[in-house]
Amino acid sequence: MSSRVSPSIEQHPDIVALRAHSEQAAVTPVAQGVEAVSLLAGLYLAASPWIVGFNGFTTLTVNNLITGIALSCLAIFGSAYERTHGMSWAAAGIGIWTIIAPWVVSGHVATTGTIVSNVITGALVFLCAVAMARMGTVGKARRR
């Protein structure tokens, strides 16, 4: 019996082509801009309770701090785009959650400042996440 060594999955032509496309997408100015905006949105989200003044909204303060740090981490690790572009959907979830959090997390009615801050930040995060996900699919459609 002869032992046949098969190539690893890492050398499969589709995987190699996908990595090449991901590397090209990650170095474009648009992708880098979207990542920068996502990082800044995450930092703002984490700091927004103190910037806007979420007085009396302890749970919303903690929520924004945690989701802002999580979003910032996604944006930082998003620079390894070929391995993490699927995380853009997690960022989209954070964006949606940020929009609805003032009503879900607060035990009482949120203020106009907390609502406006979360809705605008959440919408921006969601749009950035969709843009990053779209960058990953545009090249696939062109190759077909």
88-120 pLDDT tens trace: 788 999 999 999 999 998 766 678 889 999 999
Show the domain range for 128: 15-143
- In total, how many domains does the chain have? 1
Q: What is the pTM of this model?
A: 0.75
**53 is a domain residue:** yes
Which position has the token pair 């909204």?
Answer: 57
Averaged pLDDT for residues 25-42: 83
Other Cβ atoms closer than 10 A to 60: 24
136: Cβ contacts below 8 Å, ≥ 6 apart: 22, 25, 81, 85, 88
Among 2-6, 62-66, 137-141, which range has the highest average pLDDT? Answer: 62-66
Averaged pLDDT for residues 23-49: 84
**138 is a domain residue:** yes
**8 is a domain residue:** no
Whether the predicted pLDDT of 134 surpasses 50 = yes
